């Protein structure tokens, strides 16, 4: 069983318009509303891979209820903690020229009691079920301290459950103190973490071996179309991906995390973890829908991913 944590989920609405005009009344006949948030994308992909998954996090108001219903429709088990304020809406408007405008809500402010309740709900879950991995993805909502992930990571370590973390900014900076099992920053996230520019392959290599990050057993730096570079314990890997037609890269990082988490629960080799994760990331990019992978194409793509050990 894998637990996913989405502290700040969102109702994602994507409007398709011929043109989007500032200062005008725009109308959209075509729109898609989905349960969003990085951890929920991970849950969807895990489900498609056949993993047992429980989605957790905070949900509030009727927007929260929309997410609960969508998660249920996908037959994903969930144990969300109720919060008083409404779950946020995130709006994307895409015009025919492909211009992408976003309007993101801040989301609910979590109270101290709600934060405690979530922690209780989660530990209750650890006691009741055999949890083989925890995946926490995305930002920390207002009200929770920037170190909130630290508490969760320490609890997981105490229970010897690998904690996979995909976040950025201060949340990531704080969380690494608690030594998560795996982090998956992209180049700009790792640059911000190490407070220096990272552009060349050599700079990525140095980042993976940086003193500050030594305590993290597994670091995967995603490079978009450039694949990924990773350090798993002391081994360094380069991941080369085939050229594909990208429909939408949104959620590919989440799909990659899902694939890696699944393999980690199977105690697979480092190569296998990286290969399955990368395959899921590519499969997600091949579809417009976020958190969807066409499992039929898995084996074909899987073979085309190259994992090279660099040391």
> What does the binding site for a copy of itself look like in residue numbers (CB under 8 A)?
13, 15, 17, 20-29, 31, 33, 61-63, 65-66, 69, 86, 89, 91, 93, 99-106
Pairing of β 10-17 and β 88-95: parallel
Which tokens sit at 45? Answer: 């992909």
Distance CA 79, CA 57 (A): 8
- From the candidates 29, 210, 254, 294, which is the catalytic residue? 254
Given the complex with a copy of itself, which of 107 and 281 has the nearer CB atom? 107
Whether residue 254 lies in the annotated active site? yes
Given the complex with a copy of itself, which of 92 and 134 has the nearer CB atom? 92
What is the closest distance, in whole angstroms, from the C-beta atom of residue 99 to a copy of itself in the complex? 5
Distance CA 29, CA 179 (A): 47
Which tokens sit at 10? Answer: 């969102």
Distance CA 44, CA 55 (A): 9
What is the closest distance, in whole angstroms, from the C-beta atom of residue 104 to a copy of itself in the complex? 5
What is the closest distance, in whole angstroms, from the C-beta atom of residue 38 to a copy of itself in the complex? 15
Given the complex with a copy of itself, which of 29 and 130 has the nearer CB atom? 29
- 226: number of Cβ within 10 Å: 15
C-alpha 85 chain-centroid distance: 23
Given the complex with a copy of itself, which of 71 and 274 has the nearer CB atom? 71
Given the complex with a copy of itself, which of 20 and 298 has the nearer CB atom? 20
What is the closest distance, in whole angstroms, from the C-beta atom of residue 5 to a copy of itself in the complex? 22
Distance CA 128, CA 214 (A): 33
Distance CA 309, CA 71 (A): 38
What is the closest distance, in whole angstroms, from the C-beta atom of residue 170 to a copy of itself in the complex? 16
Looking at the DSSP assignment, which residues form a beta bridge with residue 55?
4, 78
List, as one string, the DSSP characters of 219-288.
EEEE-GGG-EEEEETTEEEEEE------S--TTHHHHHHHHHHHHHHTT--HHHHHHHHHHHHHHHHTSS
Active site residues: 254
């Amino acid at each position: 069983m894998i637990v996913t944590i989405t502290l700040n989920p969102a109702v994602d609405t994507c409007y398709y318009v011929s043109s989007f005009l500032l200062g005008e009344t725009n109308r959209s006949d075509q729109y898609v509303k989905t349960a969003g948030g990085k951890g929920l994308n991970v849950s969807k992909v895990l489900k498609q891979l056949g993993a047992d998954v429980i989605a957790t996090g905070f949900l509030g108001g009727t927007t929260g209820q929309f997410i609960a219903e969508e998660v249920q429709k996908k037959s994903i088990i969930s144990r969300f903690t109720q919060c008083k304020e409404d779950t946020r809406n995130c709006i994307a408007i895409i015009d025919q020229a492909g211009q992408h405008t976003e309007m993101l809500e801040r989301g609910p402010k979590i109270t101290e009691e709600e934060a405690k309740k979530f922690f209780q709900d989660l530990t209750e879950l650890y006691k009741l079920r055999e949890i083989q991995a925890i995946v926490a993805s995305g930002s920390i909502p207002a009200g929770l301290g920037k170190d909130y992930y630290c508490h969760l990571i320490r609890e997981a370590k105490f229970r010897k459950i690998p904690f996979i973390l995909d976040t950025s900014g201060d949340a990531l900076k704080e969380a690494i103190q608690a030594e998560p099992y795996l982090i998956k920053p992209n180049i700009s996230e790792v640059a911000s973490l190490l407070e220096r520019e990272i552009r060349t392959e050599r700079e990525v290599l140095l980042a993976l071996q940086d003193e500050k990050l030594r305590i993290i057993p597994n670091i995967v730096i995603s490079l978009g179309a450039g694949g990924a570079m990773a350090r798993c314990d002391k081994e360094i890997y380069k991941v080369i991906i085939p050229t594909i037609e990208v429909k939408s890269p949104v959620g590919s990082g989440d799909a990659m995390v899902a694939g890696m988490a699944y393999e980690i629960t199977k105690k697979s080799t480092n190569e296998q973890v990286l290969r399955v994760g990368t395959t899921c990331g590519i499969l997600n990019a091949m579809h417009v829908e976020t958190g969807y992978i066409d499992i039929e194409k898995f084996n074909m793509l899987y073979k085309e991913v190259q994992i090279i050990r660099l040391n």
